[in-house]
Structure 1
Amino acid sequence: MRSKVTLEDVAQGAGVSRATVSLVVRKSPLVAEKTRLKVERVMADLDYVHDLGAARMRSKSSRTIGVVVPNLVNSFFTEFLSGVEQVMGEGDRVVLLANSHDDPLRQDEILHRFRGHGVDGVILCPAQGTDPGLLDRLHHWDLPVVQSLREIGENATDFAGGDYAEGVGLAVRHLVALGHRRVAFLSVTARTSARKERLLGFTRALAQTDAEDGGIVEAELSWEGAFQSAEKVLQLASRPTAVLCFNDVLAAGLMAGLRRAGRVPGQDIAVIGLDDLPLAQLTFPPLTSVAMWPDQIGASAAGLLARRLAHPDVPVQRSILVPALKIRESSGVQIN
């Protein structure tokens, strides 16, 4: 049986000290680039694998963090996780992902499992209906938590998200500038802080532009739910000329439903999404959407958790990213 390659083996092969190899493994900036490349080359040649188990024993840390999201229908969370993993990977941490299915009971089970696995901390997008008392329990468990995208409590934990109220405002002002006066809002059914923030932005933007509230339609966050929402939108008594959607998933499904009903998105009725996922450029027509930078939000959440793990007593911090409107044909603008 082949013996395990050690730090000493790598150090001897590279002609450096064991301490230098250890610094390279930990991605320390203290090692000169030339030396780092030489050590990494020897590590690759010897097929060296860093012993995370031993490192965890020494540091009394599992080097893992948990991430809980409410669904995986929306690819927003795939982008979000990518940002989390990038930052945590740089810190030599492993990310455990779990889907709560927007169920507080399932979320509790996940958090208990994470606790059993000894995760160092958690990034949580709370399920709808989550009791704010959960934060007290996590504190009692001595389990650091960063909330992201949704929030329970008021400034109770570090938080990473985007300015969705402003994002909705960008979308409404764009529609009004194109001549739309009656704007409807297609929302998810889940009552969360994310929904509340978007509706607040919608109400505020309507007041600022003197546009009319074309009505609020709710749909389940699923492809079928989004597809079926078109019928509800077309039945609105206000006969809106534009629809602003909670996210890109609902917007894409809505446009498909409108086409089935014989309406042409971007011509008969304008449609705008929120998030600007890669999906937005693949719909027909391409979807005007508000970029909310999910990968950057994920990276911010991970950065806040890393900060909290390194300095447990630092003040609570919020990271809110500024949105940007991405104009395409679905809002009625002809793109050459």
Structure 2
Amino acid sequence: MQRKRVTLDEVARIAGVSRATVSLVVRKSPLVADHTREKVEQVMADLDYVRDIGAARLRNNSSRTVGVIVPNLVNSFFTEFLAGVERVMGEDDRVVLLANSQDDPRRQEEILQRFRGHGVDGVILCPAAGTDPDLPARMRRWGLPVVQSLREIGRDATDYAGADYIEGVRLAVQHLVGLGRRRIAFLSVSARTSAREERLAGFARALAETGATDAGIVEADLTWEGAAHSAAEVLALRSRPEAVLCFNDVLAAGLMLGLRRAGLEPGRDMGVVGLDDLPLAELTYPPLTSVAMDPAGIGVAAARLLARRLADAGAPVERSILAPRLVVRESSGSDAG
């Protein structure tokens, strides 16, 4: 037999407070005194109270859910990004639905239609490579608020949260040149996205500013083994590089594995720098010099932009760009330890 749902009135009666006070506690309002909040929360725990989200949805015409679409789950960047999103949305009493587009626009479309069917209040989207440029306009016609993050289709078409990739690449190239490594190659993913374009634009600009030599661009699949196999192409470049700047830490870690298989020592025979500074950067051998992009911070920024958009649909488009930070370790050839 199904147990009857505990109500706010029952919690209020046992806690000795008003129903309105219990409602404020449930909604995490700062208007409730700490001792009262603690007492009410203890009663809710004792009674196993669960908020009736369905009823709240009917009252407010809101599902209290938002969708997040990322292009892959190979890169732990997106795990940290999601943690930032959930931190903000949890404070707003919303549930986050995560979906992986696998960088496929058709799969992305299917996910969006499922999100619409579930009545999500808004979406944080990292667009799949090859996404139709008309998608932001279509989502506006659907009445579905969207914030793009990390990648974007059409500059200023929607709110956007990301990092300054151009500055991040500049920091990396300046560091390598400062170590005397002037022939620099770039290891990129193959997916044509705004993130790739910005990194390559930053690479060209940084080479021009420092006078370093472009040793070539190599593309690799975003997998550990794909990145490892790219080492052969890097070593076959006509102007053998003294260092390689990688699109992200996943490619950098794989490249270093490939270099060691070829009998070279990353950091000694060839400098390697990543972009992201994920936790794995400290676990690679040697530890990876990388440019910190703060994925959790970007997630927080994207969620705040979406919360703002949900509160005011007519607000002007806003961009939140986080500044990068170089984290020096041994892989670039520096004496970091």
Q: What TM-score comes out, normalization by structure 1 length?
A: 0.99
| 1:194 equivalent in structure 2 | 195
AA matched with 1:330: S
2:58 is the counterpart of 1:73: no
Within 5 A, what are the aligned runs for 1:33-182?
33-182=34-183
Q: How far apart are residue 328 of structure 1 and its match?
A: 0.5
Q: 2:319 — aligned with what?
A: 318
Aligned to 1:206: 207
SS in 2 for 1:74: coil
SS in 2 for 1:217: strand
| DSSP 3-state at the match of 2:162 | strand
User: What is the Cα-based RMSD across aligned positions, in Å?
Assistant: 0.8
Distance 2:8 2:320 in 1: 39
The answer for the alignment partner of 1:306 in structure 2 is: 307
C-alpha separation in 2, matches of 1:214 and 1:108: 39
Q: For 2:314, give the aligned amino acid.
A: D
CA–CA separation in structure 2 for the residues paired with 1:255 and 1:3: 59
Amino acid at match of 1:302: A
Residues 28-82 of structure 1 deviation map (CA, whole Å, 9 limit, x = unaligned): 1111112111111111111111111111111111111111111111111111111
Q: Please report the TM-score for the alignment, with normalisation by the length of structure 2.
A: 0.98
The residue aligned with 2:274 is: 273
SS at 1:102's partner residue?
A: coil
Per the TM alignment, residue 335 of structure 1 is displaced from its structure 2 partner at its CA by 2.8
Read off the aligned partner of 1:308 and give its amino acid letter. R
Q: How much does 1:301 deviate?
A: 0.5
Identity %: 74
What is the aligned partner in structure 2 of residue 32 from structure 1?
A: 33
Counterparts of 1:325 and 1:5 in 2: how far apart (Å)? 52
Looking at structure 2, the residues matched to 302 and 335 of structure 1 have their Cα atoms a distance apart, in angstroms, of: 35
Which residue is equivalent to 1:292? 293
> How far off is 1:15 after superposition?
1.2
Cα-to-partner distance string for 1:185-221 (whole Å, 9 max, x where unaligned) = 0000011000000011101111111111111111111
Tell me, in whole angstroms, the C-alpha distance in 2 between the residues paired with 1:24 and 1:255. 52
Q: Which residue of 2 aligns with 1:229?
A: 230
Q: What stretches of structure 1 of length at least 5 have no aligned partner?
A: none
Alpha-carbon distance, 1:169 to partner = 0.4
Q: After superposing the two structures, state which structure 1 stretch, 88-97 or 186-195, moved more.
A: 88-97
- Specify the SS of the correspondent of 2:214: strand
Paired letter, 2:75: N
- How far apart are the structure 2 equivalents of 1:324 and 1:3? 54
Partners of 2:204 and 2:211 in 1: CA distance = 10
How far, CA to CA, are the matches of 2:42 and 2:21 in structure 1? 14
- Distance in 1 between the 2:124 and 2:144 partners? 11
Encode CA deviations 1:134-190: one digit per residue, 9 max, x unaligned: 111111100000000000012010000000110000000000111111011000001
Shift of 1:3: 2.8
Deviations 1:281-320 (A, max 9, x none): 1100000000000011011111110110011111111000
Q: Aligned partners of 1:10 and 1:99: how far apart in 2?
A: 39
| CA distance in structure 2 between the aligned counterparts of 1:116 and 1:132, rounded to whole angstroms | 23
Aligned length: 336
Distance (whole Å) between structure 2 residues aligned to residue 53 and residue 318 of structure 1: 33
- 2:219 corresponds in structure 1 to 218
* Distance (whole Å) between structure 1 residues aligned to residue 280 and residue 67 of structure 2: 27
Per the TM alignment, residue 4 of structure 1 is displaced from its structure 2 partner at its CA by 2.0
For residues 36 and 103 of structure 1, the distance between their equivalents in structure 2, rounded to whole angstroms, comes to 46
